[in-house]
Amino acid sequence: MYSNLEALGIDVGSSTVKAVAVDGSGVILWHHMESAEPRVVPQVDHFLKMVSEKFGDISGIPLVATGYGRRLVHVASKQITEISCHARGVFKQLGHGGTLVDIGGQDSKVIIISSTGAVEDFAMNDKCAAGSGRFLENTADRLRVDIDKIGKIALSSTEETYISSTCTVFAESEVISKIANGIAVETILKGLHRSLTLRIVTMIRSLGSLPPLMLSGGVVKNPAIRYMLSEETKEPVVLPDLPQLMGAYGAALIALT
């Protein structure tokens, strides 16, 4: 049992649910992540049970919820948007501002964080899956390639094909036609990564980038996205230690205050 648990954050995202527990200085004591279930409430209950088993009685411990399912976390003392939470988490971990790109399963966000950690501006691509992790998931599935390997495979290609469709569904059809034309899978994958990266870069440019470029969210695990973002923006990319947990971590830090 830990006696120094001071706050909890839970990020109910569209692909995964994450929870972070912190002490009074914001040091992460525990974290957990699972694939998101369609029923949010039982999954949140399950998370809280795990926390209780780890830390004992958690009544009175402040909890902030974030993510698209945040409103369904009824026990939370506050619901805060994922943009504010990601900014808070990344700023605490990296200790500086800049341009944060968070590529999630359902949407992607670009957040300008000031030198004091405040959110100065933000842009969201939330109307279409084309700029999100779902874009890669769908096409990886169509190409029968493991999602965890697509970045590496894409980078292994010396050639790249242009994906013209700006829509996930149409991109899938385009992929099929490229396969039918005998184009190699790795070449197609490289084109798909470029397509997603350029959409993110457009958002970054719409806000006016403030260096350095920082990344969070599940798609950060993909090396091709990291490489291409750096290549397109001509900026080095900085990653926090636990990029997928930054939303939940930021929520816990907000709960702490």
Partner 1 sequence: MSLQQLKIPKRKDVINEFKARGGKIAAVLPIHYPRALFRAFSILPIELWGPPKIDNSFSGSHLQAYVCSIVHNALSFLKIGGLDEVDFILVPHTCDSLQGLGSLLVDFVTTTKKVLTLYLPRDKGEPGYEFLGHEILRIYTILSQITGLHPDDALLFDAIHIEEQADKALAELYFKRKKLGLGNMDFYRLIRTREFLPAEHFIKLSQSVLSVSAAKSFNGLPVVLSGIIPEPMELLDELSRMGISVAADDLACCGRRLYQPGVSMNPFRRLSENLFSAAPDPTRGDSLESRIQYLKSLVYKSKAKGVIFYDVKFCEPELFDLPDLKKALKGQGIPSLTLEVDINDPISSQMLTRIETFLEVIR
Pairing type for strands 78-79 and 119-125 reads unpaired
Q: 90 to each of 72, 111, 135, how far by Cα in Å?
A: 25, 11, 25
- The angle at the Cα of 125, spanning 212 to 179, to the nearest 5 degrees, equals 100
Shortest distance (Å) from residue 83 CB to partner 1: 4
Q: How far is CA 248 from the centre of its chain?
A: 11
- Nearest to partner 1 of 119, 228 (CB atom): 119
Q: What is the DSSP-derived secondary structure letter of residue 222?
A: -
CA quadruple 240, 244, 247, 250: dihedral sign: negative
- Nearest to partner 1 of 63, 140 (CB atom): 63
- Nearest to partner 1 of 50, 207 (CB atom): 207
Alpha-carbon distance of 165 to 196, in angstroms, equals 11
Could you give phi then psi for residue 217, rounded to 5 degrees? 95, 165
| Closest C-alpha to 171, from 148, 193, 186 | 193
Instruction: Quickly count: other Cβ atoms within 10 Å of residue 110's Cβ.
Output: 25
Shortest distance (Å) from residue 205 CB to partner 1: 12
Q: Could you tell me if 134 and 207 are in contact, meaning their C-beta atoms sit under 8 angstroms apart?
A: no
Alpha-carbon distance of 83 to 165, in angstroms, equals 28
In the numeric block, which tokens belong to residue 64?
Answer: 């902030």
3-state secondary structure of 160: coil
Q: Could you tell me if 143 and 175 are in contact, meaning their C-beta atoms sit under 8 angstroms apart?
A: yes
Residues that bind partner 1 (CB under 8 A): 68, 80-84, 107, 118-122, 124, 126-127
- Nearest to partner 1 of 134, 226 (CB atom): 134
Shortest distance (Å) from residue 71 CB to partner 1: 8
Shortest distance (Å) from residue 81 CB to partner 1: 4
- Nearest to partner 1 of 127, 144 (CB atom): 127
- Nearest to partner 1 of 106, 230 (CB atom): 106
- Nearest to partner 1 of 71, 96 (CB atom): 71
